[in-house]
Amino acid sequence: MAEVDRSARPADAITSAYFRTRRPLNDEDRGAILERLYALLRHRARLGWWLARLGRPDTHRNRLLAWMALAEGQTPDLVRRLFSAAAPLTEPEHKLVGELQGAAIDHPDMPEEVRLECPPWAVGPLRQRFGAAFADEMSATLAPPPLDLRVNPFKATRASVLRGLKDLGIRAEVTKLAPQGIRVAERLSLARLPGLKTGEIEIQDEGSQLVAHLVDARPGEQLVDFCAGAGGKTLALAAQMMNKGHIVACDVNETRLKRCAERLRRAGLHNAETRLLTSETDRWIKRHKGGFDRVLVDAPCTGTGTWRRNPDARWRAPELGVQALVALQQRILASAARLVKPGGRLVYATCSMLSEENEDQVAAFLAAHPAFSVVPLQAVTPIVTGSAHRDYLSLTPARHGTDGFFAAVLRREVAAEAGPTA
């Protein structure tokens, strides 16, 4: 827990490194450790509130003791025995467990944002975004996410993967919207999924799959995944193209691009290359102006849509601040738009639920770049229904059972642009 708090790395990366150095742990032990860690992360504000109420310091150890008393119903004597071998309880710690015995983790005196685990920096924007639905939406971010898989159509079919999962005794079903998605209906060790090693499947939330679906990549086309990261959507796009055409996965982070290249090789996809950019205005962009049929901009964002999957992320305020991050998104979108050929498609996406990063960002871009126009969601894909916005893909955990995602599909007109250069 201490390492998660002090490190800039996400919790899943930290836990993976932790388990690599502790091979003797079996799947049951690993599962128990992960379950308790993520429970502490999902209840951080409430545990801190209780400790403040009792005048105790908000330390990692006190948080754990509070969780054991409030949520697990452990008695002071039982907790003392559990801690006796490695790190015996002090008398103040024993007293803390006793003071919390019989109490519930939610308390009537808690402010709503504490009960809903909403960090101070996000309360205002999210209340403005959701209005009366704020509590329901925030509650949904506290639930553990499902395990969604995306089938690689270059190597398998959804039907064959489902049969394979059934043969392994794993309960699964097709996703409601994503055409290559499968939702696993139980918690399991990823070691039970051999398709991950062969490249037949990838772990990818249904919402993320739908963002890639909106790009509508076709065999033989030229594409750019402008903020590719480790390549989750790049893989989906390359598979849509059935290994034909060409896709360039760009990013400013070399480590993430190396991971992207490794995943492409494992998936058997050879129609993609990685391109390290120095910034959003790298010279490569100017040299390839107007050269691509489709460009995906999965912009860096606050990540509010991923809180149920990454509960540690909600307590890491955006390093740049929201307004500076919005300005960066604006620069990235304007620069990437230069790559789109006349008649081509530009898809702007985030894993955020803040209007400033989504609808407002698209509105500002369209005002400055009249050569682009919105392609309404239903004109792009009739299979996606129930979006929170009429023209754009807008998904939330409460309404759709996915991570929070936003995507706008824009088209560059064939006529010459009048106004600012895109």
pLDDT tens-place values along the chain, 422 residues long: 667 676 666 676 777 777 677 667 777 777 778 888 989 999 999 999 999 999 999 999 999 999 999 999 999 999 999 888 778 899 999 999 999 999 999 999 999 999 999 999 999 999 999 999 999 999 999 999 999 999 999 899 999 999 999 999 999 999 999 999 999 988 888 888 999 999 999 999 999 999 999 999 999 999 999 999 999 999 999 999 989 999 999 999 999 999 999 999 989 999 999 999 999 999 999 999 999 999 999 999 999 999 999 999 999 888 778 999 999 999 999 999 999 999 999 999 999 999 999 999 999 999 999 999 999 999 998 888 788 888 999 999 999 999 999 999 999 998 754 455 44
Catalytic residue, from 227, 250, 301, 351: name it: 351
Contact predicate 156/199, CB 8 Å: no
> How far apart, in Å, do the first and last CA atoms of the chain sit?
46
Other beta carbons within 10 angstroms of residue 78's beta carbon come to 13
Contact predicate 244/217, CB 8 Å: no
**Domain(s) of CATH 3.30.70.1170: residues in the chain:** 147-203
**Domain(s) of CATH 3.40.50.150: residues in the chain:** 207-412
SS3 content of the chain, % helix, strand, coil (to 5): 45, 15, 40
The whole-angstrom separation of Cα 27 and Cα 298 is 34
Instruction: State yes or no: is 351 an active-site residue.
Output: yes
In this prediction the pTM is: 0.91
CA nearest 67: which of 108, 104, 23, 92?
A: 104
Per the CATH hierarchy, to which homologous superfamily does domain 147-203 belong?
A: Sun protein; domain 3 (3.30.70.1170)
The whole-angstrom separation of Cα 82 and Cα 72 is 13
Other beta carbons within 10 angstroms of residue 93's beta carbon come to 21
Q: Which ranges constitute the DSSP H helices of 71-152?
A: 76-82, 91-100, 112-115, 120-130, 134-140
CA 12 and chain centroid, separation: 12
In single-letter form, the type of residue at position 107 comes to H
Beta bridge partners of 98: none
399 three-class SS: helix
Q: Which two tokens stand for residue 53?
A: 């109420």
Q: Which two tokens stand for residue 71?
A: 């949520």
The whole-angstrom separation of Cα 363 and Cα 267 is 37
Q: What is the pLDDT of residue 422?
A: 45
Per the CATH hierarchy, to which homologous superfamily does domain 207-412 belong?
A: Vaccinia Virus protein VP39 (3.40.50.150)
Calculate the alpha carbon distances from 97 to 10, 33, 60, 102 in Å.
Answer: 30, 21, 14, 10
Element (H, E) at 235: helix 232-240
The whole-angstrom separation of Cα 121 and Cα 143 is 21
Q: Which two tokens stand for residue 236?
A: 């989906």
